[in-house]
Amino acid sequence: MVAAYVALFALGVMEGLIGSFHFSHSLGRVPVASLAFCALILATSLLGRAGMGTVLGGVLPAIGWLAAAFLLTLPTAAGSVIVTNTTAGMWYLYGGAVCAAVGVVASFWYRPRRPRAHRSPGARP
What Rg value do the Cα atoms of the chain yield, rounded? 19
Give the Å distances, CA to CA, from 48 to 26, 43, 58, 59, 106.
Answer: 28, 8, 5, 8, 11
34-52 pLDDT tens trace? 999 999 999 999 999 999 9
Tell me which DSSP letter residue 121 carries: T
Q: What is the pLDDT of residue 100?
A: 96
Confidence class of residue 22 from pLDDT cuts 50, 70 and 90? Answer: very high
**Average pLDDT for 82-106:** 94
Which residue ranges make up each domain of the chain? 2-109
Look at the chain and count its residues.
125
Task: Kindly report the pTM of this predicted structure.
Answer: 0.84
34 by DSSP, 3-state: which? helix
Q: What is the pLDDT of residue 110?
A: 76
105-115 pLDDT tens trace? 999 987 766 66
| Mean pLDDT for all residues in the chain | 90
**Average pLDDT for 77-99:** 92
